[in-house]
Amino acid sequence: MTTLTCTRLPMTLLALLLLGGSGTASAAAYGYSYTSVFGLVISNPTGSVTLLSNIDLSRTTATLNGSGVIHGGSNQIDAAQATRGAVSKGQNDFTQQGMGNASYARADAQIISSQIPPFPPGSTSTHTVNVAETYLAGGGSADASGRNGSTTAMAVNFVVGEPGATLGFDFRALPFMQLYLDAQAGTGSAASTSLALTFSIIDENGQIVFNWAPDGIIGSGIMGGIEASDGANLNTGYAQTPLTSGNMLTYDPSGCGSPTGTGTGTDCGAEFSAITNNLVAGSYTLVLNMLNSSELLYVPTDTSIPLPGTLPLLAAGLAALAVLRSRRHRYR
């Protein structure tokens, strides 16, 4: 009976040890990209400008593990939030949902007010907000991906009279991004977030005569005009791969912190202003385009990682095996 017991007990200990040493670290990737543009005033410092028409566009997309959705489009000012997975944030809540226990992808976009045309009635400035947020929990999945984006744009047709005219742009903006890819991400994993904001004026021949992409440097990122203030880079992004993973990257150039409330506040942000060169008489289209995106791809590694407490269990198990082996030889 003693010999039978000594044979089964090591097998039991071995099973426990294998169980204790086969745990894998949880996998995670996260991206959040947000931009709020507020107090935007488009003025006409010199010359004569006549507005003809305006087309607003609010659009959201979200994709998670191959399942996607698109909301909004042309002539919309408030696209419905696009969601996939475990989304808890509601419509027009641009604050962070953050990392949780289940994967999700969401995007939201809204033109809150616009001076062209005035809506709500009496509006004298433009306020527009975008967010794109994704999170992947490994959960033992061998391959997972999530991506989303949101775009808000306004196209305005106008005519410049003789002898020409200039347009001025003044606004404040709050950009904020965070990106994380954990250190256990395997080969092929990647995470990125980006934001973009551009102002373009196109003439009747389709030529771009003015383009402004604020990049935080006075005199840079502008063509066909002059910058007076450029408080932050509104055309930038982050990227991580397994070689650079393990740290949370945060982009907060204005020091305002993560958006609070509904994410539509106007109490913090950097200043931006620019004026076009003289636009000769003719017809033009002004396009304001704003984009936030976040894309994740997580491929778990095949390496097993001991769970906390495994090493003491392993030591105790090996000691027990040594004692049992010694007794076994003694009874023989």
pLDDT tens digit sequence for 70-112: 999 999 999 999 999 999 999 999 999 999 889 999 999 999 9
More confident position, 5 or 184: 184
- Cα separation, 131 vs 36, in Å, equals 9
Question: Among 128-137, 157-166, 305-314, which is the least confidently predicted range?
Answer: 305-314
The whole-number average pLDDT for the span 181-210 is: 95
The whole-number average pLDDT for the span 156-185 is: 96
C-beta separation of 248 from 240 below 8 A: no
pLDDT at 129 over 80: yes
- When pLDDT is cut at 50, 70 and 90, the band that residue 190 belongs to is very high
Non-local (6+) Cβ contacts of 226 within 8 A are: 274, 275, 277
- When pLDDT is cut at 50, 70 and 90, the band that residue 17 belongs to is very low
C-beta separation of 286 from 200 below 8 A: yes
The whole-number average pLDDT for the span 198-226 is: 97
Residue indicated by tokens 């060169």: 277
Mean pLDDT of the chain: 85
The whole-number average pLDDT for the span 307-313 is: 45
Non-local (6+) Cβ contacts of 250 within 8 A are: 177, 178
Q: What is the pTM of this model?
A: 0.83
The whole-number average pLDDT for the span 109-126 is: 94
The whole-number average pLDDT for the span 198-213 is: 97
Residue 326's pLDDT is 55
pLDDT at 49 over 50: yes
Residue 308's pLDDT is 44
Residue 144's pLDDT is 55
Question: Among 23-27, 100-104, 133-137, 226-230, which is the least confidently predicted range?
Answer: 23-27
pLDDT at 210 over 80: yes
What are the φ and ψ backbone dihedral angles of 55, each rounded to 5 degrees? -125, 120
C-beta separation of 53 from 157 below 8 A: yes
CB atoms within 10 A of CB 7: 11
Question: Among 64-68, 131-135, 229-233, which is the least confidently predicted range?
Answer: 64-68
The whole-number average pLDDT for the span 36-47 is: 97
pLDDT at 199 over 50: yes
